[in-house]
Structure 1
């Protein structure tokens, strides 16, 4: 069994592909890459590791989907457990005002996110769902 991660394309937008010889489903090839075993033989902790890696791998593919849909954000945000994982979708309505949502992939959590840029480095963010919060964020680009 040989499992391979192929990376191609420009550094700004690399394309990845997981494959194996003999050919297996990507999830099984990923399990071999991480554990050296097929998915059916991994332990619970190894299964969580494979699931986390699959989420990270899948979220890396989302940039292309977001571009095709014409939205600014489409990502999977992993929580402290797999059950807490969220799908985030959002759009800047103006350069200073963002509207988005976060929806639980494995639970019924849903959050509305509004972000307003106050200065080049400071924005205020509100989130409402099962709980409400307001955050003042300081962000600085390192170029």
Structure 2
């Protein structure tokens, strides 16, 4: 007589489903200038503007870029545009970094960007 491996009158055992690993979008990227994982990208938009302003700053080498992106862009999208901007930049990036200027469509010093950011924060506090 052969033995059978099934249970009579019992419930079927449930198999535990393995959890899916959800990849998170990174918040810190690799700097195209110094190749270190220290580039922070922020996308800021005002309700009145049709474009948002993306700013990328490297904490290691001081590289800075400021440019326009569509309003619904995420930091990952802005990073892709930054790489294109860096590859097509005409000029001396080292001189721009030493002078404390940002490259991109919205040229200017880093202090000007910080002033704009402080103005935005004060406007939010007033609302």
What TM-score comes out, normalization by structure 2 length? 0.31
Greater RCO structure (CA 8 Å; 6+ sep): 2
Q: Which has the higher strand share?
A: 1
Q: Which protein has the larger Cα radius of gyration, Structure 1 or Structure 2?
A: 2
